[in-house]
Amino acid sequence: MTFPYKSVLVLALTAFLAACAGPGTGSSSGRDYWGHRPGPKNFKTVIIDAGHGGKDSGAVSRWTRQKEKDLTLDTAKRIRRELGTDFKTILMRDDDQFIELDERVAQATRRGDAILVSVHYNSGPSHVRGPETYYWRVDSHGLAVRLHRAMNAVSPAESANRGLVRRRLRLTRNPQIPCVLVEGGYLSHSAESKLIQNAAYRQRLAEAIAGAIRAQSALGDAGTGPLPPPLYEPLSRPTDTAE
Ligand SMILES: [Zn+2]
């Protein structure tokens, strides 16, 4: 038996390279400041964030009078039901309460080994419709692609990949875990708002979102296309953009 100097060298070299690479590489689960890594696989914890709440109603449909905060909570609960016992599913809020965006970020990061999906409904010019999906981190790209495809399959609006957007928002840039923000459709569009008013439609959206989460856990990024380049940009601040 000879001294395994080769193994020792390989180990030392591996450790040296890992140290050089620094944050942003390595494991695809757990916290990571930048998220410059492949998307997560085999994760067990899913945080569903119902957008807005309490004093913050979000968008209000002038067609149905429904408030975004109520629709996001309803959809979040449906997603939790769809995920069943396959995951430990945590709702950021399960009633009509106001939670600051930075507090949502802190709660998500505290969880560590989890993914975050923030659920919203959109508002804009009256002719615009269709789901939109926002991500920023490299490790959130695959999940964003899956979520967007799944919502598009449910929506009669043809937004295709126009609605998959890399954008630095507080809930896409700041959490230190994979995180995606979905907009289920436009409350400002007459027909789409009436569609969203329908509980059966929200149920189909929730099933689509849960299916995308399940696929990401089973397959990782497989089939979601090349990863986007890493970006180095500061944390999103309240003064950056309207969220
Ligand atoms: Zn919103």
Q: What is the DSSP string of 161-185?
A: GGGEEE---HHHHSSSS-EEEEEEE
Q: Tell me the pairing of strands 88-91 and 164-166.
A: unpaired
Tens-place pLDDT, residues 145-163: 999 999 999 998 866 567 9
Residue 38 Cα to ligand 1 midpoint, Å, equals 27
pLDDT at residue 10, rounded to an integer: 46
The domains located in the chain, with CATH, are 45-219 (3.40.630.40)
Lowest mean pLDDT among 17-31, 137-151, 212-226: 17-31
Q: Which of 177, 175, 178 is nearest to 235 (CA)?
A: 175
Q: Which of 228, 117, 231 is nearest to 175 (CA)?
A: 117
Residue 121 Cα to ligand 1 midpoint, Å, equals 6
Residue 173 Cα to ligand 1 midpoint, Å, equals 16
Radius of gyration of the chain (CA): 19
User: Is residue 51 scored above 60 in pLDDT?
Assistant: yes
Residue 228 Cα to ligand 1 midpoint, Å, equals 25
Query: Quick one: tokens of 135?
Result: 């991500």
Residue 107 Cα to ligand 1 midpoint, Å, equals 18
- CB distance 230 to 36 below 8 Å: yes
- CB distance 212 to 143 below 8 Å: yes
Q: Which residue has the higher pLDDT, 181 or 2?
A: 181
Residue 207 Cα to ligand 1 midpoint, Å, equals 20
Tens-place pLDDT, residues 52-94: 999 999 999 999 999 999 999 999 999 999 999 999 999 999 9
E strand spans, the chain: 45-50, 88-91, 115-122, 132-135, 164-166, 179-186
Q: Which of 58, 55, 61, 93 is nearest to 74 (CA)?
A: 93
Residue 158 Cα to ligand 1 midpoint, Å, equals 21
Q: Which residue has the higher pLDDT, 203 or 15?
A: 203
pLDDT at residue 157, rounded to an integer: 82
pLDDT band (50, 70, 90) for residue 49: very high
- CB distance 180 to 119 below 8 Å: no
The type of residue at 13 is L
Neighbouring C-alpha atoms within 13 Å toward the C-beta of 215: 19
Residue 216 is given by DSSP the state H
pLDDT at residue 239, rounded to an integer: 78
Mean pLDDT of the chain: 89
Residue 164 Cα to ligand 1 midpoint, Å, equals 16
Residue 59 Cα to ligand 1 midpoint, Å, equals 7
Residue 21 Cα to ligand 1 midpoint, Å, equals 36
Residues forming a β-bridge with 56: 53
- CB distance 172 to 116 below 8 Å: no
Residue 114 Cα to ligand 1 midpoint, Å, equals 22
Residue at token pair 């449906």:
78
Residue 162 Cα to ligand 1 midpoint, Å, equals 19
Tens-place pLDDT, residues 82-141: 999 999 999 999 999 999 999 999 999 999 889 999 999 999 999 999 999 999 999 999
User: Is residue 208 scored above 80 in pLDDT?
Assistant: yes
pLDDT band (50, 70, 90) for residue 242: low
Residue 157 Cα to ligand 1 midpoint, Å, equals 19
